[in-house]
Structure 1
Amino acid sequence: MAENLKGCWVPCKSSWAALRRRCREQHVWCRALGVPRRNRSDFEVEYLCDYKRVRDEEFYLVKWQGYPSSSNTWEPRKNLRCRGLLKQLHQDLARVPGGPARPGPRGLPARAASYLVQKAQQRQALQRWERLLNSTRSHRGRIVVENEVDLHGPPRDFVYINEYKVGAGVNLVPVAAGCECGDCLAEAAGGCCPGASSNKFAYNEAGQVCVRAGLPIYECNSHCRCGADCPNRVVQRGIRYDLCIFRTSDGRGWGVRTLQRIRKNSFVMEYVGEIITSEEAERRGQVYDRQGATYLFDLDYVEDVYTVDAAHYGNISHFVNHSCDPNLQVYNVFIESLDERLPRIALFATRPIRAGEELTFDYNMRVDPVDAESTRMDSNFGLSGASCGSPRARRRIECKCGAAACRKFLF
């Protein structure tokens, strides 16, 4: 009988807060519930809701961890040992919509107190989302989430994935053979995997791309004799830089900036999403156009058959904004599949990128053909982001990148 119940579950009738309160009442600690051993019997400040001054003494309205808002209490400054939360409250007060608010003997104006609670709850939601992203990612680079601009929380209906999600009607044919090189960079047999496809070795000894934009990259695959440290395995190792998803202050929605310095020609990230047929992309594109948002990236290396849709399934590239003067360049990469209709989309740095700088690429990228080889690739990518609409809508989309050489319109 018991074996038939495997995989079954029922929802808990107690709330998260009630479970934490129960733990403290019973002197039980639970890391998952946020009741660590060191403070299972203590009251912990979750966030600060209000602020007042009575004569010369400061008081703060405290929301206690594991207790409902009805249990909030006013506490004098001397009773609180949460320096970070105190500093955060006063920073938030300076940003209250409608101007800074002054505390009175009964507390802050309602608009300011409401803003403090919303901001605290937003930070909690973003912290939970940040933990989820980092528990889901398979790459080395960690993800940080920040929003000091508005009250927007985590995006809805977005699932973080590390590799392509194959949609209906798409058939990925795996590669059947690999190279036999002893050293793929110095002693490449038959030109290694790139040579087998009559292409050049794409990387130098530092893992930087050294072929021009427009030429394909062929990396070693699971059938190759070489190991994980092979210099011809760059994109497949994943993101190695710490990156931050942040809310832009100029109306472009979310963006991504690097927390570490990135060298020129270094791999930064893949554009990952759901692979769908062009017919399905047309249908979804019409829906996205009505919503004013889409993330469709056409894969047109040899023919326009498939599209990557990162609207609901994607990685951190989902949040990268457009620029007419970008610091990332798109390359097509082939690893476990040599189907030229289904390249992987890799973004490499076009120049040295400082820590703290926003990462961008050109949604309407064009590569000038310099020889017969490069005319096949990167000639027409179609992608639109959250603030850009859809190229299929055939309407001019205003560009907000702010670059000196801005084209003023995306499409």
Structure 2
Amino acid sequence: MEGGSDYSTFPQGPIDKTKVLEVKPFRSLYPMLPSSPEGPAFVCAPPYGPFPAGFSPFYPFIAPQNVSHASQNNHSYHTQTPPASFAAPIRSFRSPEINLSDGFNGEMGSSVGKKRGKVYNLQESGSRQRKARKSDVLDFVASSSKDFVVGISSYERDEGNRQVVTSVLIRYDALRRRLSQMEDAKESPTGIIRRADLKAGNILLTTGVRTNTRKRVGAVPGVEIGDIFFFRIELCVIGLHSQSMAGIDFMTSRGDLEEEPVALSIVSSGGYDDDAEDSDILVYTGQGGNANNKDKQSSDQKLERGNLALERSLRRGNEVRVIRGMKDGVSLNTKVYVYDGLYRIQESWKEKGKSGCNMFKYKLVRMPGQPGAFSVWKLIQNWKDGLSSRVGLILPDLTSGAESTPVSLVNDIDDEKGPAYFTYFPRVKYTKSSRLTQPSSGCNCRSACLPGNPNCSCMQKNRGYCPYTANGVLVSRKPMIYECGPSCPCTPNCKNRVSQTGLRVHLEVFKTKDKGWALRSWDPIRAGTFICEYVGEVIDKVKSRQDGEEGEHDDYVFDTTRVYDSFKWNYEPGLIDEDDSNQSTEEYDIPFPFIISSKNGGNVARFMNHSCSPNVFWQPVMFEENNETSLHIAFFAMRHIPPMTELTYDYGIARSDEGNSDTHRKRKCLCGSPKCQGYFG
């Protein structure tokens, strides 16, 4: 029996053992979540306790219900004999012989056993209580914006895809940013730890906005090798790693004799003495023993839970997902998690750790034929450290020092030595006719501007909130964002000056095979991070139309009058019981046609290519300069962008004007996206 039992409720007299109403395993993987959003707040505790009074253990995933025999067969993970590279004798501290075919199924969302040729589900107890809540969740999710995936069906929760995974991650980070903004506006006591990441994760997990809830061995649908995450809870909401704190995720598989744990994924984040020098080999240290806890006495690690699961997976030869924790090149206090693909455990042993206690070691080898992930990070770090040179490097800094962060120029495709000549300048250039004429002034703050300050005119223009989080991440798309400008007396480190700080990531202009020159970053980019401004000469629409007859300049023009695909990026107010009417629209409010030409001069933004599924979006920003209002176009990351990923945005479609067709301006699109419209411009 699980938990405490009231023996007075047991039936008296003889029991008819032929009637089994419910069968429930001793160790249940069901999450113990609040029954309503008004339940107790999320508490970050170790996965196996101890837990504060009034709280239950937290496991993010609910086992699937009513899993049929057919569905298990359709999605089973078939164990195979390990390849030759794994056929060598294996050293193991405990490795009894196990029949690989005994009751092992790769998609074990529930414990499944065999008896007399029948398959029965051991985790259906409690399903009635969850059915009512499940329908409520579907109704709630279906009411979200049409620009997100409309609703998350039970199948999409169990079996995601790329679109669903992307939608869940965007919705999570949008909520996290809003919660961070709300916390920044509060006056909290000193020493209080704010964890908007955990609060947002708890809300999404409770309301069912998640995917891949069925635990499985091997790849997770919709998650690609090289994907990056800035919070551990992101791994939970997409089903990549269900433990919010523990480094080993596992589940039990039912054999003929007993249930045994099977390792599904590990997170190597540097908490132990993990050896990660080789990009294809990871020596992983087991969990437990308090080896990394200064407040507790160290002890020998035990062969239980995750450690036992890794040992059993060594004998089974099943695939294990590996997520590596890396230091963020932009913010040294931040850790980035990169999904490095599938590994197999080759051997295990015991050794003395730095604490003098015994620790388990597991050697994992990356399966061949997978795209690079961790290897890309290692290569970039070697470039930064000067340990190896960048192949195809033409210029180490094409800005000639105009930017505080250099922008390299690279061509490892052909012999072209660079793009056509242009003048690099980091600030947009206005003509007299393009300036806003109305007088304006900045704030009167003498220190950093504070959200909620009724005397700060810049904050009041932004509805009392700072549009950015404390670490400079954009919270929401707005019709217009008002920053403090050079005319404002507040300090230069005021966090309401994000788009004026210049480049914050190490960018690279590189040659593509079929799209000319393009832009990407050496550093990982968090969703909402400012990337660059579109810089060039602001021109009027008449001059733009005259230049348009030349045909070439379309590649180097940004035009706010074009038609852009709408998309949902902001958080859903209903998730935190906010009134929709208090939230501004995501439609932009440009006071006049704003056109920038970077044909003859500009910055790195001129090299960003079009995509029908972009990872960058533009946001209008205003601030005061020389007592005049300046309008700027700032680019922000739409989602987390891994290193060396091309940066793209939507070029939009030119409008038909005065009955004249603009079809001659449309160009063939080569973005390769599943949503590609075939043309742009």
TM over 0.5: yes
Q: Is the 8 A contact 1:142 1:241 kept in 2?
A: no
Structure 1 residues 395 and 381, CA gap change in structure 2 (3 angstroms): closer
Q: Is the 8 A contact 2:449 2:496 kept in 1?
A: yes
Partner of 2:453: 188
Write the distance in 1 (CA, Å) between the matches of 2:665 and 2:420: 27
Structure 1 residues 205 and 292, CA gap change in structure 2 (3 angstroms): closer
Structure 1 residues 151 and 260, CA gap change in structure 2 (3 angstroms): same
Instruction: Note the C-alpha offset of 1:253.
Output: 0.3
Tell me the alpha carbon deviations over residues 256-300 of structure 1, each in whole angstroms, 9 at most, x when there is no partner: 11000111111111111101111111111111x1x4753221245
Instruction: Note the C-alpha offset of 1:132.
Output: 4.9
Q: Is the 8 A contact 2:520 2:647 kept in 1?
A: yes
Q: Which amino acid aligns with 1:298?
A: D
| Residue 519 (structure 2) pairs with residue 231 (structure 1) | no
Which of 260, 278, 281 aligns to 2:523? It is 260
Instruction: Note the C-alpha offset of 1:181.
Output: 6.1
Q: Is the 8 A contact 2:473 2:528 kept in 1?
A: yes
Q: Is the 8 A contact 2:553 2:599 kept in 1?
A: no
TM-score norm. by structure 2 comes to 0.35
Structure 1 residues 236 and 323, CA gap change in structure 2 (3 angstroms): same
Instruction: Note the C-alpha offset of 1:198.
Output: 5.2
Which of 439, 443, 462 aligns to 1:178? It is 443
Q: Is the 8 A contact 1:297 1:307 kept in 2?
A: yes
| Residue 415 (structure 2) pairs with residue 145 (structure 1) | no
Q: Which amino acid aligns with 2:667?
A: I
Gaps of at least 5 residues in structure 1 are 1-122, 366-379, 383-390
Q: Which amino acid aligns with 1:323?
A: S
Structure 1 residues 232 and 168, CA gap change in structure 2 (3 angstroms): closer
Q: Which amino acid aligns with 2:516?
A: G
Q: Which amino acid aligns with 1:399?
A: C
Partner of 1:281: 544
Work out the number of aligned pairs and report it.
Answer: 258
Q: Is the 8 A contact 1:267 1:349 kept in 2?
A: yes
How do residues 16-165 of structure 1 correspond to structure 2 at under 5 angstroms?
126-127=394-395, 130-135=396-401, 137-138=402-403, 140-165=404-429
Write the distance in 1 (CA, Å) between the matches of 2:507 and 2:422: 18
| Residue 568 (structure 2) pairs with residue 298 (structure 1) | no
Tell me the alpha carbon deviations over residues 39-87 of structure 1, each in whole angstroms, 9 at most, x when there is no partner: xxxxxxxxxxxxxxxxxxxxxxxxxxxxxxxxxxxxxxxxxxxxxxxxx
Write the distance in 2 (CA, Å) between the matches of 1:210 and 1:331: 12
Write the distance in 2 (CA, Å) between the matches of 1:194 and 1:392: 41
Q: Is the 8 A contact 1:259 1:356 kept in 2?
A: yes
| Residue 672 (structure 2) pairs with residue 409 (structure 1) | no
Write the distance in 1 (CA, Å) between the matches of 2:628 and 2:541: 16
SS of the residue 1:224 aligns to: coil
Write the distance in 1 (CA, Å) between the matches of 2:641 and 2:617: 13
Partner of 1:242: 506
Q: Is the 8 A contact 1:330 1:348 kept in 2?
A: yes
Q: Which amino acid aligns with 1:344?
A: H
Instruction: Note the C-alpha offset of 1:323.
Output: 0.9
Q: Which amino acid aligns with 2:643?
A: A
Instruction: Note the C-alpha offset of 1:356.
Output: 1.1
Instruction: Note the C-alpha offset of 1:339.
Output: 7.2
Identity over the aligned pairs, expressed in percent? 28
| Residue 468 (structure 2) pairs with residue 203 (structure 1) | yes
Partner of 1:398: 668
| Residue 633 (structure 2) pairs with residue 359 (structure 1) | no
Structure 1 residues 177 and 323, CA gap change in structure 2 (3 angstroms): same
Q: Is the 8 A contact 2:462 2:481 kept in 1?
A: no
Q: Which amino acid aligns with 1:260?
A: D
Partner of 1:328: 616
Q: Structure 1 residues 160-169 or 307-316, which shifts more?
A: 160-169
Instruction: Note the C-alpha offset of 1:397.
Output: 2.0
State the 4+ residue runs in structure 1 displaced beyond 6 angstroms.
none
Write the distance in 2 (CA, Å) between the matches of 1:188 and 1:334: 19
Structure 1 residues 284 and 304, CA gap change in structure 2 (3 angstroms): farther
Structure 1 residues 292 and 179, CA gap change in structure 2 (3 angstroms): closer
Structure 1 residues 252 and 132, CA gap change in structure 2 (3 angstroms): closer
Tell me the alpha carbon deviations over residues 303-362 of structure 1, each in whole angstroms, 9 at most, x when there is no partner: 54441001111100010111111111110001125978x620000111111111111111
Instruction: Note the C-alpha offset of 1:233.
Output: 1.1
Partner of 2:636: 348
Q: Is the 8 A contact 1:274 1:309 kept in 2?
A: yes
Write the distance in 1 (CA, Å) between the matches of 2:638 and 2:593: 28
| Residue 603 (structure 2) pairs with residue 315 (structure 1) | yes
Structure number, greater radius of gyration: 2
SS of the residue 2:434 aligns to: coil
Write the distance in 2 (CA, Å) between the matches of 1:197 and 1:262: 25
Write the distance in 2 (CA, Å) between the matches of 1:267 and 1:381: 28
> RMSD in angstroms over aligned alpha carbons?
3.0
Write the distance in 1 (CA, Å) between the matches of 2:665 and 2:497: 40
Gaps of at least 5 residues in structure 2 are 1-391, 562-588
Write the distance in 2 (CA, Å) between the matches of 1:195 and 1:312: 38
